[in-house]
Amino acid sequence: MSPVALAGVPALATSDKKADQAKKGAVPASGSLLEVLNPRGLPPPITLVPMAKRLDSLDGKTIYLVSDGFPGADTFLNQIAIWFKKNMPSVTTVYRLKAGGFADDDPKLMAEIKEKGNAVIMAIGH
Amino acid sequence: MGIPSAPLVTKAFKDLALLNAAKRGMPHERICFTPHPVWGKTPEEVRVYVEGPDPVTGKPFMREVVDALTVPLSEEDKKVGNLSVSVGPATFTDTADNLQEFYLNNGYTDFLPIIVPTEQRVDQMLKATSHHPDDVVGKMAAGAYPAWSYNVRQVAANAVMAGCRPEYFPIVLAIASSGMASLFSSTNSFAFAMVINGPIRDKLEFNYGIGALGPFAQPNATIGRAWTILSKNLGNGGIPGDTYLGSLGNNLNYNNVVIAEHEDASPWVPFHVQKGFKKEENVVSLFRGLGVVPGQVARGSSANENVQFDYQMSDLFSTFTGFFGALIIADPLVAARLKEQGYDTKEKLIDWLYKNTRQTVKDYKSRNYAYLFDYPRALRGDEPWATWYKLPDDAVIPHFPRASDFNIVVAGGQTNAYPQAGNLSYGVSVSVDKWT
């Protein structure tokens, strides 16, 4: 995704010709030109985060099914666990409810996943 | 963390999820989408989602999930480095009419006509502060997003747009310095309020008499409006589907609830003094929550000789969430009556309200917000929720977790003895004098 699109860069109101006219004081028939300030603040730069290496396959792996607490996520993840049991029985699924608010970190859970899990499927509500 | 993941999001939040992933440095994050909503669906209905297609790609949902975890990364997925993000040129040039359209079409406004921020107008605004135009004022994010930063000049441009007079600018700067956006991303459609204290209320002719919360004075109208406009432009708030997800929205966001406290007519200590400021200091205090309700709906004694405003206020709160606090806005007639009843300080009234606004655990657990917001806190062991969730259904608990959830201000024109109350939590108080 273009970083320009992320900031919503506007279609410019003016061409270079109009800007030059404004600076020279030229007044076109349609009305005086005004120079106005861009009211936007300054977005932070984006630091690209490399994605974690993928697994060769899910066979025999442990997948953590994590809910961020949004209603219905537990029901949904339970259906995913049932799907794995039926379709990929060698996969072990472990359900966890992340502590705290939706956007809060849960270092204890992350440490557990890092130690005992191979992958995460996370249901995210807002 | 180094563990491959497959985030799941419902289709309604597709733009939010993709944009947020990109802003946080993972533009190719493998997000899998489900139909919307998931909340309220039965296991059988949700099974259809799991066994069906991803509504965005059309591919089998679980195939997407498995692929998200197993398909090897591309070179793009492995990229590192920084990307700068541009908001366009520092100035725009066109006719006044074209600029109105331009600002409107690019999401810089509240969809009402603005005062275009020419250099001359911005310079006039800048004269009202001793701070240098390039001084950084603060950072703001309209939710769990990377925060944008802004300087004095940028705040000035937004104050001009809102129609503020230069003499209002220190208040707008104080608000901007708080970093608190008045447009917040939540699906809950939050409302925001500010309380103005100090001599500046009279100096700038704020209205705190008849129609105190209404459109009856320029500072009340434009400073409130400026908060919303700068939240859009400086905090990147208010982009539907991206940084604003309020399902119904909140009409109060147009210019927020602006309350200049009627300090002279109040029998109590002004709000800012309660927060540690001196009476002669000029302060703006900010609140966030869900909205404001009128006191006329409250139950309580109806006999004129024995109107019990404490009971009325307590009754008002029965439909409030305990997730946010209670901001009581008392007409001076109400405040005077409460003082006659023995509440000679705000603290005494707050203590009574906290102890006497109660609910059963069964009632509490049945509330939407309790499951959404409090239950996760209970699981984490946070109090008092951890204890509340262990109590039997018939146990009685306070409606609000803490006495500090209550705040009281006095405003109004004394044409009748009505309070209003906001399901609003106190956020922060900021010195205006610092920004003069």
Q: Output the DSSP codes for B185-235.
A: --TT--EEEEEEESTHHHHTT---STTTTSS--HHHHHHHHHHHHHHHHTS
Q: Which residues contact B139 (CB under 8 A, 6 or more apart)?
A: B147, B148, B149, B150, B179
Interface probe for A, chosen from B11, B93, B231 (most Cβ of A below 10 Å), is: B93
**Cα distances (Å, whole numbers) of residue A57 to A90, B43, B64:** 11, 28, 14
pLDDT value of residue B78: 87
Give tens-digit pLDDT for B127-143. 999 999 999 999 999 99
The verdict on a CB contact (< 8 Å) between A38 and B90 is yes
**Chain mean pLDDT for chain A:** 81
Report the percentage of chain B scoring pLDDT > 90: 83
Lowest mean pLDDT among A57-61, B99-103, B297-301, B379-383: B297-301
* Structural contact between residues A70 and B39, judged by C-beta atoms closer than 8 angstroms: yes
Q: Which residues of B touch A121 (CB under 8 A)?
A: 5-6, 8, 65, 69
Residue A110 structure tokens: 């992350």
Encode burial over B239-253: b for 16+ CB neighbours within 10 A, e otherwise: beebbbbbeeebebb
The CA distance from A121 to B34, in Å, is: 13
The tokens describing B259, both together, are: 């309350």
* Residue B26 with chain A: CB contacts under 8 Å: 48-49, 51
* Predicted confidence (pLDDT) per residue in A72-99, tens digit: 899 999 999 999 999 999 999 999 998 8
Residue in A13, A54, A120 closest to B98 by CB: A13
**pLDDT reading at A21 higher than 50:** no
B117:A121 CB<8 A: no
Q: Alpha-carbon distance B405 to B421, whole Å?
A: 13
Q: Give the ipTM of the model, two decimals please.
A: 0.88
Query: With the CA atoms of B182, B187, B189 and B194 taken in that order, what torsion angle do they form, in degrees rounded to the nearest 10?
Result: -30
B289 forms beta bridges with: B191, B424
The CA distance from B272 to the nearest CA of chain A, in Å, is 30
Q: What is the pLDDT of residue B304?
A: 57
In Å, how far are A113, B269, B326, B411 from B197, measured between CA atoms? 50, 11, 19, 11
Q: What is the pLDDT of residues A22-31, one digit of tens each?
A: 444 444 445 7
Question: Using one digit for the tens of pLDDT, what is the confidence trace for B183-206?
Answer: 999 999 999 999 999 999 999 999
On whether any CB of chain B is under 8 Å from the CB of A70, the answer is yes
pLDDT of residue A11: 42
- Put simply, whether A94 touches B (Cβ < 8 Å) is no
Give the closest-approach CA distance of A100 to chain B in angstroms.
5
Contact with chain B for residue A25, Cβ under 8 A: no
Say if the Cβ atoms of A4 and B157 lie within 8 Å: no
Residue B110 has pLDDT above 90, yes or no: yes
Selected for mutation to probe chain A from B39, B94, B100, B114 (highest A CB count within 10 Å) is B94
Q: Do B2 and A11 touch (CB under 8 A)?
A: no
Q: Is A11 on the interface with B (CB under 8 A)?
A: yes
Q: State the DSSP string of B75-118.
A: TTTT--EEE------SEEEEEHHHHHHHHHHTT-S-SS-----B
Q: Please report residues of A whose CB lies closer than 8 A to that of B61.
A: none
Mutate to test the interface with B, among A2, A6, A90 (most CBs of B within 10 A): A6
Note whether A78 contacts B43, CB cutoff 8 Å: yes
Q: Would you list the DSSP string of A47-102?
A: EE-PPPPPPS--TT-EEEEEE-S-TTHHHHHHHHHHHHHHH-TT-EEEEEEPPSST
d(CA B205, CA B217): 7
Q: Long-range CB contacts (< 8 A, 24+ apart) of B39-43?
A: B39/A70, B39/A71, B39/A72, B39/A125, B40/A71, B40/A72, B41/A72, B41/A75, B41/A76, B42/A75, B43/A75, B43/A78, B43/A79
Give mean pLDDT, residues B281-285. Answer: 98
From chain B, the residues in CB contact with A30 under 8 A are 95
Cis amide prior to B37 (ω within 30 degrees): yes
Determine whether the interchain pair B86/A52 forms a contact, defined as Cβ–Cβ distance below 8 Å.
no
| Direct distance between the N- and C-terminal alpha carbons of chain A, in angstroms, rounded to an integer | 22
Contact call for B229 and A44, based on CB within 8 A:
no
Using CA atoms, how far apart are residues B343 and B225, in angstroms rounded to an integer?
Answer: 35
Mean pLDDT of B50-79: 94
Cross-chain Cβ contact A126/B84 below 8 Å: no
Q: How confident is the model at residue B368 (pLDDT cuts 50, 70, 90)?
A: confident
Nearby residues of B172 by Cβ (< 8 Å), 6 or more positions away: B155, B158, B159, B162, B164, B223, B226, B227, B230
The answer to whether the CB atoms of B93 and A113 lie below 8 A apart is no
CA distance B153 to B139: 14
Mean pLDDT of chain B: 94
- Which of A9, A38, A80 is the closest to B91 by Cβ? A38
Q: For residue B178, what are its two tokens?
A: 């708080």
Q: Is the pLDDT of residue A18 over 80?
A: no
- Where residue B219 falls (left for φ over 0; alpha for ψ -120 to 50; beta otherwise) is alpha
| CB-based contacts of A115, cutoff 8 Å, min separation 6 | none
- Tell me the shortest Cα–Cα distance from A25 to chain B, in angstroms: 12
Residues A80, B50: C-beta atoms closer than 8 Å: yes
- Give residue-wise pLDDT tens across range B310-352: 888 888 898 899 999 999 999 999 999 999 999 999 999 999 9
Number of A:B CB contacts under 8 A? Answer: 299
CB contact under 8 A, A8 and B107: yes
Summarize chain B as % helix, strand, coil (round to 5). Answer: 40, 20, 45
CB contact under 8 A, A36 and B99: yes
Judging contacts by C-beta atoms under 8 Å, the chain B residues touching residue A12 are 88-89, 92
